[in-house]
Amino acid sequence: MATVWIPPLMRSLTQGQEKVEVPGETVLALIQAIDGRYPGFAARVLQDGELKPGLSVAVDGVVSPKGVRERVRADSEVHIVPAMSGGESALG
Amino acid sequence: MMGANPKLDPIRGEGSGNGSRPQPSYKVIGTRPIRPDGVDKVTGRALYGADVRFPDLLHGKVLRSPHARARIRSIDTSQAEALPGVKAVVTGADLPTAEDRFEDLGEGGINLRYLSENVLAHGRVLYHGHPVAAVAAVSPHIAEEALSLIQVDYEVLPPVMTLEEAMAEDAPILLEELRTDEMGERGNRPTNVAAHFRYELGNVEEGFAQADLVVEREFRTQTVHQGYIEPQMATALYDQDGQITIWTSTQGSFSVRSQVAEILQIPVSRIRVVPMEIGGGFGGKITVYLEPVAVLLSRKAGYRPVKLVMSRAEVLMATGPTSGSRIRMKMGATRDGRIVAAEAELVYEAGAFPGSPVGSGAVVLLAPYNIPNVRIDGYDVVVNRPRASAYRAPGGTNAAFASESVVDELARKLGLDPLEFRLKNGAKEGDRMANGLPHPKIGYLETVEAIRNSEHYNAPLEGRGRGRGRGVASGYWGNWGGKSSATAVLNADGTVTLNEASTDIGGTRASIAMQFAESLGIPYEKVKIRVVDTDCVSYNDVTGGSRTTFGTGLAAYELGQKMKAAMIQRLADIWGVSPEEVVYEEMVFSAGENRVTFDEAAKLIERRSTPVMVEAEVYGKKYGPAFSTQCVDVEVDVETGKVTILRYTIAQDAGKAIHPAYVEGQMQGGVAQGVGWALNEEYVYDREGHLLNASLLDYRMPTALDLPMIETLIVEVPNPGHPYGVRGVGEVNIVPPAAALANAIYDAIGVRMTELPMNPARLLEAILAKQAQESTQPA
Amino acid sequence: MPERKKRMITTTINGEEITFLCEPRQTLLEVLRDELGLTGSKEGCGNGNCGACNVLLDGVLVNACLVLAPEVEGRELVTIEGIAPGGELTLLQQKFLEHAALQCGICTPGFIVAAKALLDENPSPTEHDVRLWLAGNLCRCTGYDKIVRAVLDTAAALQAAQTTPTEVA
């Protein structure tokens, strides 16, 4: 199961959990799985089926232009971070 | 020492301070050939944006708001339109209503509505210099006269110029529709705080409880500008058949095309952007200012080309700059020198519209260190200043000024050498940054060691502590990969033409051609490289974010491999053998008794086979971050507050220096800008929000007299994500200088500066305050 | 109503006699670039602070943005386009290329004209002499290091060529 790191300002939605392990083959599937456990999470993160502007996602340390369509492995680490200037995202 | 720079061998490493191992030997990479556009640039023949000329050219000028904040009641352009020689006048009313949608520009994003509003105001002006109208006329002088005939009725409002004013309880609200965005959650109160985010690792309260020593300080930086010597300009022709051509100096011709398409709501297929040579960008020539205006004027003036060029005052008033900021930094360490906790609040000016680089600043802040307990809050705040634009490692210099000053103070109070302190806490591959992401393979420790082992750091400094001092600081920049596409054409004479679309700000034609040559196994001199317009290749991300040598280099590498394969395939076909039988070595193709040189192969293929043209489209995912550690010696004149830089050394991990001279150039250039940011540069506004120093006399950038030679130590910890190990080199170098200088000043006179710029006035004030304090203490 | 009647000005530019029409309010820089097509001199600031428009007026280094076009009547101008007589690159220009003393190149014409003026006056400048002389030319890309090295290297090479009893380079 992939591990999704929950940003500090969203942990109120996941009952304080910093990391959530969920099954799924894409980032979108993971988000939906988290939403199943913690309703409201998907609405916080998604807009029209994509990540909200201002948010970025990294799978195993790499940001992909596919966004939520990026595929994940069973042991993948997924981070949701602010999308920033000076390059792709706050990952630098 | 006169003449050539002692060409120090790059310091090679494996990462995590493990020393060196044998590197592959390259034929082209690592050499220092003359850049292909060099002759044109030393003879004045190279054509930059303002150099375009057409027989029926019209000249445009922009009318700008004299107020920092106002409502526009009405605009009357009739008198201007009636002036002989004026061919068109436009205002915000000529722009289509923009969508309320976020657009990624490739170096930061912007809401399209705000991007459009920043091009020509709609109903409100938000900074001194905000464009309100524009004129096209037969001469620039007539265009300027026409500006004075445009009547704008303003309702002037009190401006909000500082972070404190903007965040106060009763602050005037600059953008009525703005609500705070907190990682996807939208606030419900009108506000000037556009965004808030937080990074958190571990537990800072527990962490600080473990600390034997805690240092907490508040730092301030001022608004500064990229300071490129070439002002913005744009020339546009809107043809009778609806085709639009734009000639401009830009870091991203495809980004310009997208922005113009969005703002004017015209399909990209009708827009061709021709990139001219560019006179500096540093991040500031990505957002469009003049291009859409030029297009509008061209159409309205009867489909004639219109050229708009900004004056220096306009550049300073209304483009860029980067954010001023307030940063509170708290760090705790144990007695034996381990940093156990760090907490920070970063508040950055966005300018008139949201989008400061506070997020990347928050990542840079602690990236060089492995700290288990961290909390960082970041705020993006609007004020009545021009909208912040990317400036070389956006947000990074501000952050490192704070964190590297506190690291220095911690080290001193613990009695530890500042480099040893960094080595003890320095990040390695796998260590997590504040945003939770682990570092890939990095060379931070190597840069610290490079300084520690350097001649500079080990040289005695006479008068140290009595007016002279030495300081060190480190910095990080994540870099970027992005999209590149390019083609290569084999010519019958054995040369190759490479068509790519990364505008060349600092010598990338050479580094891209070199990677192609290395990949194909031919000499650099056989590559003819061209920067082409947006009709010729598919999408290319901007030349920025330290991506070009990495990303377009990846495309070049792929092109080399593909061309080799294509030539082998053609020769196999001509010779009647299978491609596997064809061997290519040392510029010779052979299969059994068949044998041709590279040049002969090219000729043979042209005569006997189908032409060879290959393409590559890449998205560079594994770009590899960069680190830099720097050391500076200063002399402080305690009577005037003037700081003289005696000696400067920069160490930087380049992964692999494709063309060492241009890598050195990037290192030195970033240092110079950092020095200006640290010691002199700032925007000065009056109470009504007017920019007082919109000229290069009073916006004081470093001259040749302000700097010594800048010694460069290229460290090479190869990036596994690139065939030659390349890491972006353009930006990280500007991150440490402000802190290095602050630390050197402390070393020299015992005064800890927490505000930039550390100009003579501020320094003198601090010196006098310290003297006054010392004189009141018991003997 | 500002005076718009154009004046006819005759001057020598890069060794050739040129006649042009200009309004009195036009600067030399504007005329060079917009009327005469000599776009090698650049406008960086328009008020004499960056040196990108450096030209030699009767052998004296000036900012073309601070000279009004009518002022050059009967005088001799050298612009970046005229630095290389007969088109062959001068040693100074070659050294700029070898030392990678340019990145974006926008300030380079100004620096080359200014450096030529320096070496004409002082063939053996010290590093400080070079920095002081070139303080009127702003560069934002290079940090000046390689520019100063290129000028010093040029001076050294010219001195060596003079003292070597072999054919001139």
> What is the nearest CA distance from A84 to chain B, expressed in angstroms?
6
Q: B177, exposed or middle or buried, with CB in 10 Å at 0-12, 13-18, 19+? A: exposed
pLDDT of residue B24: 81
Residue ranges of domains in chain A? 2-82
ipTM of the complex: 0.96
- Assign A78 to helix, strand or coil: strand
E strand map for B82-224: 86-91, 102-104, 109-111, 124-125, 131-137, 151-156, 181-182, 185-186, 193-201, 213-221
Q: What is the pLDDT of residue B779?
A: 59
User: pLDDT tens digits for B676-723?
Assistant: 999 999 999 999 999 999 999 999 999 999 999 999 999 999 999 999
Whether C77 and C57 have beta carbons less than 8 Å apart is answered as yes
Alpha carbon distances (Å) from B594 to B585, B665, C122: 14, 46, 62
Report pTM: 0.96
Write down the architecture of domain A2-82 according to CATH.
Answer: Roll (3.10)
Query: What pLDDT does B486 receive?
Result: 97
B779 Cβ under 8 Å from any chain C Cβ? no
| pLDDT (tens digit per residue) in C104-119 | 999 999 999 999 999 9
Domain ranges (residues) in chain B: 49-157+232-309, 325-479+624-775, 482-620
What CA–CA distance (Å, rounded) separates C152 from C128?
11
What is the percent of chain B where pLDDT is above 70? 96
Q: Which chain B residues contact residue A60 at CB under 8 A?
A: none
Mean pLDDT of C125-148: 98
Chain B residue whose CA is closest to A7: B199
Give the gap in angstroms from C-alpha B136 to the nearest C-alpha of chain C: 16
Q: What is the pLDDT of residue C84?
A: 87
- Averaged confidence pLDDT in chain B: 95
Report the residue from B42, B695, B701 with minimal CB separation from C138.
B701
Query: Is the Cα torsion angle B143, B149, B151, B154 positive or negative in sign?
Result: positive
Helix (H) or strand (E) holding B343, with range, is strand B339-351
For chain C, domains (ranges, CATH) are 7-82 (3.10.20.30), 85-162 (1.10.150.120)
* Binding partners of B (≥3 Cβ pairs within 8 A): A, C
pLDDT at A86 over 50: no
Residue B6 has pLDDT above 70, yes or no: no
Predicted local distance difference test score (pLDDT) of residue A83: 79
The nearest alpha carbon in chain A to B732 belongs to A92
- CB atoms near residue B544 (< 10 Å): 33
CB contact under 8 A, B481 and A55: no
Q: Give the percent of chain A with pLDDT over 70.
A: 90
Answer whether residue B106 shows pLDDT above 90.
no
Measuring CA to CA, how many Å separate B23 from each of B30, B164, B223, B524, B717? Answer: 11, 53, 43, 21, 10
Contact predicate B396/B429, CB 8 Å: no
Which residues in B lie closer than 8 A to residue C137 (C-beta atoms)?
703-704
**How many angstroms separate the CA of residue C73 from the nearest CA in chain B?**
22
What does the pLDDT read at residue C169? 39
Q: Which residues contact B517 (CB under 8 A, 6 or more apart)?
A: B27, B28, B523, B524, B526, B527, B560
pLDDT one-digit tens code per residue, B177-203: 999 999 999 999 999 999 999 999 999
Q: Which of B259, B253, B271 is nearest to B98 (CA)?
A: B259
CATH 3.40.1190.20 fits B482-620, yes or no: no
Q: Across the interface, do B182 and A9 touch by the CB < 8 Å criterion? A: yes
Better-scored residue on pLDDT, B143 or A62: B143
Residues of chain B with Cβ-Cβ distance to C43 below 8 Å are: 50, 231, 309
Tens of pLDDT, residues B541-585: 999 989 999 999 999 999 999 999 999 999 999 999 999 999 999
Question: What is the tens place of the pLDDT at every residue in B381-409?
Answer: 999 999 999 999 999 999 999 999 999 99
pLDDT-derived band of residue B426, with 50, 70 and 90 as boundaries? very high
Question: Which of A20, A50, A85, A89 to probe by mutation at the B interface, max B CB count within 10 Å?
Answer: A85
Tell me how far apart the alpha carbons of residues B568 and A2 are, in angstroms, rounded to a whole number: 44
Report DSSP state, residue A59.
E
C46 touching chain B per CB within 8 A:
yes
Can you count the helices (H) and strands (E) in chain C?
Answer: 5, 5
Each residue's pLDDT tens digit, B267-313: 999 999 999 999 999 999 999 999 999 999 999 999 999 999 999 99
pLDDT in the model for residue A65 = 77
SS3 string, B412-444, reads HHCCCCHHHHHHHHECCCCCECCCCCECCCCCH
Contacts of B492 (CB under 8 A, 6+ apart): B602, B603, B606, B607
| Mean pLDDT for all residues in chain C | 94
Three-state SS annotation for B194-236:
EEEEEEEECCHHHHHHHCCEEEEEEEEECCECCCCCCCCEEEE
Kindly write down the DSSP assignment for every residue of C74-140, as one continuous string: T-EEE-GGGSSGGGPPPHHHHHHHHTT--SS-SSHHHHHHHHHHHHHH-SS--HHHHHHHGGGS--S
Q: Could you give the 3-state DSSP secondary structure of residue B250?
A: coil
Sign for the CA dihedral angle at B1, B5, B8, B10 comes to positive
CB–CB of C103 and B229 under 8 A? no
Q: In whole angstroms, what is the distance from residue A61 CA to residue A3 CA?
A: 13
Chain B residues touching residue C56 (CB < 8 angstroms): none
Out of B102, B357, B435, whose CB is closest to A53? B102
In tens, the pLDDT along B738-759 reads: 999 999 999 999 999 999 999 9
**Does residue C155 sit in helix, strand or coil?**
helix
Per-residue pLDDT at B110: 75
Please tell me the distance from the alpha carbon of residue B248 to that of residue C75, in angstroms, as a whole number: 35
**Which amino acid does the sequence have at B8?**
L
More confident residue, B101 or B504: B504
C166 has pLDDT over 60:
no
CATH homologous superfamily of B49-157+232-309 equals Aldehyde oxidase/xanthine dehydrogenase, a/b hammerhead (3.90.1170.50)
CA nearest to B312 within chain C? C45
In sequence order, the 6+-apart residues with CB closer than 8 A to the CB of B541 are B106, B252, B254, B255, B480, B482, B483, B484, B547, B551
B534 has a pLDDT exceeding 50 = yes
- Shortest distance, CA A88 to any CA of chain B (angstroms): 6
Same fold, B325-479+624-775 and B482-620: yes
Is the domain covering B325-479+624-775 a CATH 3.20.20.100 domain?
A: no
Report the first-to-last Cα separation within chain C, whole angstroms: 57
pLDDT value at residue A66: 87
| Measured distance CA(B161)–CA(B482) in Å, rounded | 35
Distance CA B173, CA C35 (A): 49
